[in-house]
Structure 1
Amino acid sequence: MSARTAYDPHLFQEVLVSPMYLAGSDGTGEAGFAPVAHWPHHHLDEGPCQLLVTSPDQRIRIGWLGDDFELWMITAAEDAVSTPRWTATFNHVTPAEIVAGLTTALAHDYAEADAYDINARFLASPSLYWADAIRPLIDAGWTRDAAERGTVEYSSPDDQAGVLIDNRRHHHSDRDAPTVELWAGPPGWGTRAEAVFTGRTPSHLIAATAAAMADSAPVVRERHHIHREMEHLVTLTPVGSASPQTPRAPTPLDVRRTAVTQAVHRAARAPRTAADLRVMAAQSRSAGASQHRSASLAPASTDRPPASSPAPRHGR
């Protein structure tokens, strides 16, 4: 975000931003953590990871690296001490609503799995068909581009987002290398959103992330969250000024209230620990504090080709 006047009330106005994948981060990550709000939270004083949210058995780990370029690091392993089977990273420009596509799918997979189940869906092998991982993008009208042999590229209708699949890294020695990258926005430290998945990431988890990315609903941001170089690429509509026929996107307060409600509902169906109750209480306090801060800042179907399918490459 470019330097701007610190207390210009206009900059703190809430706006609906579309397309969502160009909205950038709101700086909190709350939407990404909401689906796992009932999981144990670990606030770390040492190291780059400031917050670590884990499944109760610690096989799934969601790390928030607040001061790093790679803001999110999400992994899954067969047990708490095993090397991760796969890793997904999201950089600091990626909207947390896209991260929520993955964390929502993980929360669902975990809830459906038996305790310490080595066949849990979040540990499944990827599909043999690369299209399974990006089916929501294909269904949303993204088109295939020319690409380097052994890779596949698709781009959004506005050419401001895309996906790169590298099918050359299928050997055992390369199984932990990045193989799928979702991106949005022009190149640049403050403008390009990136989500990267290693080779053994289950295809349905990538697809869940892609589905969030393809969602046409706008998201809420304050004006100062939008990088100046992105302003001409997005549509900004002040919250409250949308036509009555257009459903209003949730405000940050709405999102926080929904997250707490969902967390309580999920926790009611699972054994509660003292840590779970503390997390829910902290979520409620956080929502109240955030509301107070906001008030003080502003006045009043294609065929499925096999993974080996080659395609020529062209530059983006």
Structure 2
Amino acid sequence: MSVQQPNDNYLYQEVLVSPMYLAGTGGTADPSFAPVAHWPHHYLDDGPCQLVITSPDHRIRIGWYGDDFDLWKITAAEEASSSTRWTATFNHSMPPEVVVGLTTALASDYAEADVYDGNGRFLANPSMNWADAVRPLIDAGWTHGGGAASGTVEIVAPDGQAGVLIDNRRYRFDEEAVTLWAGPHGWGTRAEAIFTAGTPSHLIAATAATMVDPAPVVRERHHIHREVAHLVSLTPVTPSTLQAPRAPTPLDVRRTAVTQAVQRAARFPRTAADLRVMAARSRTSTSAQNPSGSPAPALAARPSASPSTPRRSR
């Protein structure tokens, strides 16, 4: 007796996924770029990094590695040519809605620096109190996990499917110190965000805050890994599921921001081919310069050629 396979209509049905931290990337990394859509974009032909978004002064860099093992690598430095002060790396299984927490905080920090002292909180020294970096998790009821090695602290979600590991034994700014994780062990199931020791605590906290947002995210059924499917709640998207008749709460505001990010991301290129074409155009067209002479944002008016960002070829 043959086993009936799900049809395409079922597999491509949009569903609300909860908890969000187990939802995966959904085939696109674009929402993570929405808060910095106005920053310069650089499309690269060669190497694993296909797109680099930089602050106007190039002190903040957001690299997207669509075909490699690290999907996002975000760094900051005191000067455009100076050594990196800190690095945050998000792997291929981390939902872009989590990355939005960091890119939003960076955009805010940079805007404030431009108005005030020109330096910016994104270069602040991390707090001496490790709990400051994960305060949103503690406030949401995440508790100490057992089995952490000496000199480390682990905080785990109530469902045991997400957590953070803090390594207090790290002394150099470029050593890995904080790891946010979600999902069971495995290349296709474990989401990770790794921060080096020099990362400002408020930026880690901004990222962690998205992990405890109970608002579900939209995915297609086939985006959910089969080893994660039994750990999440899936609700088919219908007009009734998307209604919010009550007054907006802070969580609703955050959900709206992510939704708007996804809508703006629909204009972004989503395949490696798109990115390479954009790079070629930028070299052959003089229209990439705005009247002031600085590069114009290239992603703003490009239609998507494919429904998803490239998956890893390795």
TM-score by length of 1: 0.78
What is aligned with 2:225? Answer: 227
The Cα shift of 1:256 comes to 3.8
What value does the CA root-mean-square deviation take over the aligned residues?
2.9
Asked if the contact 1:37/1:259 (under 8 Å) is kept, the reply is: no
Report runs of 4+ in structure 1 exceeding 6 Å deviation.
246-253
What is aligned with 1:149? Answer: 150
Whichever residue aligns with residue 224 of structure 1, its letter is H
Equivalent pairs: percent with the same residue? 65
What is aligned with 2:165? Answer: 164
Q: 2:263 aligns with which of 257, 260, 265?
A: 257
The Cα shift of 1:113 comes to 0.4
Give secondary structure in 2 for the equivalent of 1:280. coil
Report the Cα distance in structure 2 between the residues aligned to 1:104 and 1:250, rounded to whole angstroms.
14
Give secondary structure in 2 for the equivalent of 1:210. helix
What is aligned with 1:83? Answer: 83
Report the Cα distance in structure 1 between the residues aligned to 2:46 and 2:6, rounded to whole angstroms.
31
Asked if the contact 2:31/2:264 (under 8 Å) is kept, the reply is: no
Give secondary structure in 1 for the equivalent of 2:234. strand
Residue 236 in 1 paired to residue 238 in 2?
Answer: no
Residue 25 in 1 paired to residue 25 in 2?
Answer: yes
Give secondary structure in 2 for the equivalent of 1:16. strand
Asked if the contact 1:153/1:162 (under 8 Å) is kept, the reply is: yes
- In the alignment, structure 2 segments of 5+ residues that lack a partner are 247-251, 268-290, 309-314
Give secondary structure in 2 for the equivalent of 1:229. coil
Summarize deviations over 1:39-60 as a string: whole Å, max 9, x none.
Answer: 1111100111001111111110
What is aligned with 2:194? Answer: 196
Q: 1:277 to 1:99 in 2, by over 3 A?
A: closer
Give secondary structure in 1 for the equivalent of 2:128. coil
Summarize deviations over 1:197-239 as a string: whole Å, max 9, x none.
Answer: 0000000000000001111100000111100111100000011
What is aligned with 1:184? Answer: 182
Give secondary structure in 2 for the equivalent of 1:228. coil
Summarize deviations over 1:90-117 as a string: whole Å, max 9, x none.
Answer: 0000000001100000000001103895
Report the Cα distance in structure 2 between the residues aligned to 1:39 and 1:242, rounded to whole angstroms.
35
Summarize deviations over 1:144-191 as a string: whole Å, max 9, x none.
Answer: 123222111100000000100000112xxx321100000000000100
